Structure 1
């Protein structure tokens, strides 16, 4: 009989998992990792993996097999198989969140007016909580108060990878981005929203999603200090986002360099009428500037010089005013002048 739960320890070799699954006649629904041998046994496997190479190798192998950390307790981290997530996640089970036919978890907010002529699509930023909600961290929860009365909001979870798939393809889910794009398009079609009245929005990892899907889908976007390269976090932050070692089939810098080049060629002379909110004080600024260079004369870049911005996570909370302005400007059909503009 196939076992629904298999146990691992920090001494389990990643290569042993295949033989364990074979002996079990298939992958279980859950893996549980005993962490009692760790120096901090109550830490979840993501935290342990930042300092322990063996823990990281184990985490990466589970991730590439399609398992996600969903719970941790004393001496234990629990992982769930991807196809079981929607059956396990309480917010999906009680109807707070919905799963599309392609399995993309999302939430749809209708305006109080009941009239839907515009749509904002929200992508979530990074979260490190060892629960499934890290894939759906709330972003601008009060946004509905600041947009036109006929605007609905589609919020999309970022299930996949270790701390999210960045709304891109992963090695385990090579069609993840296509599934997300289909969800956006089906929502637009279902509510009869004109494509010009759709704006994609996100900050940090969410900004990555807004930029990617805006460029690939032809939708307007407001992308806040997007992460378009893995270099910074892999080189200076000990691979904090767990993007190396095969979790993603291609590095972000390769994906975005190719995408931006193609879009620049296809849209030569045509402005995508979209906005990047960023700050030259952010370590991501130089990477983003280089990646978007072919579109620099058609995109609008709002560069905040706020002296309180000291690092990447500061950009989003310090530029809320610019984000609201940009979202509403695009929703209402107005245009930003292309190029870089300094903002407070």
Structure 2
């Protein structure tokens, strides 16, 4: 039997293998357990990952394993290149004056080929081994928030195998590595769904232990035990509560029919509808199970290709259901008000996290507050079945180190509709804005913060929240490329933000109305080279209260990359706001 620890990002690995084995040897009353580390993040450079692993660790990596056990694709990625441009970490390749591909390098060797289509957008990623052979291909397409992976391909014994999600590829990998009776362990909550879905193909017990380290305050400690290991074994159950100081309400039992069993404990009612039958959901049940034939665990992955599915998702969102779980054949939606976060605090129906200043950054000056409205997440979060992944983007985690002292940071989740309502009222959540305002006022009161020491801040989706709530609050505002009008995305991007049916598509009038009654000040940071968004911002009547600042960067033409290209400016303006300079 082996205790196998899964990790997706090697930079998050702590040297705790002895601790892991010790915990589970005691729990399973077996002193001969072996420890093995499995890295399942196929997008992380496999040579970099290998360099971070202790040579004595029993280690396996998904991309390295694939490169050793699969056949190679025969595509020639060098023949059509006429000129090249070295951009540091990658090399851009041109043919006929067009950027046809990019080479991503590691130690002066090509490790990944990024293939571009005739319009310049990426269509595929090719992963290379140390000999420059292609062992993995991924099909991709560009959405508003970045590139989405549509499929992953490998070759085994001369035949091509196509996976419709990264989970399918990971499950294929695990099926060749995991043996009966092995114990899977992870401290990464984002991997729990992957493990639970894999459980349908595995006979071993699956554990997920979240570290109780006091530094990780953002994570609510949980243990997941699968296949009824606890049920029927009271001694192990009691030992867990004793060893890890867990309360009984922090231990969840999840079995083969994980979602239904877990929720039915609470007595929730459930209705089943079938997508292929064009069934219509009925308002009443707490949970709706949607059966489908898309054969993917992440229902949102590629959903834009199916207008009927987009309409159904919007319809469910308008009825106040949120996507909560998924398998290859089914997706579950729960009433928004019944959802409870694993790690965030809750005020009314708004979820949040409050970061207080470190002791060394506390002085005798007045307390300050950044109200951080969060942007849309990267692709993995956008298509996640977990509402928190879609609504609470973990970004600028150490931002307080770059802000003036005595600054609190209030991060607010946009847990509404499918991918948030951009912190604005919607048909299903008509007092959303009022609840957010009440939360902000509560935090200000509890921490003795006056409105002249408050800055509302956000990027993209969060930029809209910063505008709406900064105007309402009469605070200072730093909004980065807010999408105040979703017309372009509704018409040409298959309503990728899922706001077309349940919220005003154009928020211009709302924002202008709030500004007309406000004493707020501040700025909107944008770039006129991102024309799809700039054209709406320059029409916005700022009423001499806000400035529209154009960074004039001709290298940034996509909304999704503006934020990471303007970090110094954002931090500068945030700090200027606290000095009343904007």
| TM-score, with structure 2 as normaliser | 0.50
What residue number does 1:310 align with?
557
Larger Rg: 2
2:533 to 278, 284, 293: 284
1:208 partnered with 2:464: yes
Give 1:262 deviation, angstroms. Answer: 5.5
Answer with 165-174 or 233-242: which moved more. Answer: 233-242
Higher relative contact order (CA 8 A, sep 6+): 1
CA shift in 2, pair 1:278/1:207, >3 Å = same
Contact 1:14 1:58 in 2 (8 A): no
Query: Partner of 2:372: helix, strand, or coil?
Result: strand
Contact 1:50 1:238 in 2 (8 A): yes
CA shift in 2, pair 1:49/1:12, >3 Å = farther
CA shift in 2, pair 1:262/1:204, >3 Å = closer
Give 1:49 deviation, angstroms. Answer: 3.5
Give 1:285 deviation, angstroms. Answer: 0.8
1:118 to 352, 364, 368: 368
> 2: CA distance between counterparts of 1:81 and 1:68?
6
Give the helix-richer structure, 1 or 2.
Answer: 1
> 2: CA distance between counterparts of 1:3 and 1:99?
21
CA shift in 2, pair 1:262/1:107, >3 Å = closer
1:215-260 superposed Cα distances (whole Å, 9 cap, x missing partner): 1221111000001002110122121111112x22x33x2x432431
1:16-44 superposed Cα distances (whole Å, 9 cap, x missing partner): x22xx6xxxx313x222222x23xx2053
Listed as ranges, the matches of 1:105-254 within 5 Å are 105-113=351-359, 114=362, 117-127=367-377, 128=382, 129-132=384-387, 133-245=389-501, 247-248=502-503, 250-251=504-505, 253=506
Listed as ranges, the matches of 1:25-104 within 5 Å are 26-28=284-286, 30-35=287-292, 37-38=293-294, 41-42=295-296, 44-47=298-301, 49-86=303-340, 89-91=341-343, 97-100=344-347, 102-104=348-350
Give 1:99 deviation, angstroms. Answer: 0.1
What residue number does 1:13 align with?
278
Contact 2:373 2:462 in 1 (8 A): yes
CA shift in 2, pair 1:8/1:328, >3 Å = same
What residue number does 1:342 align with?
none
What residue number does 1:341 align with?
none
| TM-score, with structure 1 as normaliser | 0.83
Q: Which runs of 5+ in 2 are unaligned?
A: 1-263
RMSD of aligned Cα (Å): 2.1
> 1: CA distance between counterparts of 2:513 and 2:316?
34
Contact 1:48 1:55 in 2 (8 A): no
What residue number does 1:340 align with?
none
Contact 2:528 2:550 in 1 (8 A): yes
Contact 1:199 1:221 in 2 (8 A): yes
Query: Partner of 1:70: helix, strand, or coil?
Result: strand
Query: Partner of 2:405: helix, strand, or coil?
Result: coil
Give the strand-richer structure, 1 or 2.
Answer: 2
Contact 1:119 1:151 in 2 (8 A): yes
Equivalent pairs, count: 306
1:277-313 superposed Cα distances (whole Å, 9 cap, x missing partner): 111111211111112x343x43222211223212111
Answer with 313-322 or 131-140: which moved more. Answer: 131-140
Give 1:65 deviation, angstroms. Answer: 1.6
Contact 1:69 1:79 in 2 (8 A): yes
1:87-110 superposed Cα distances (whole Å, 9 cap, x missing partner): xx322xxxxx1001x221000001
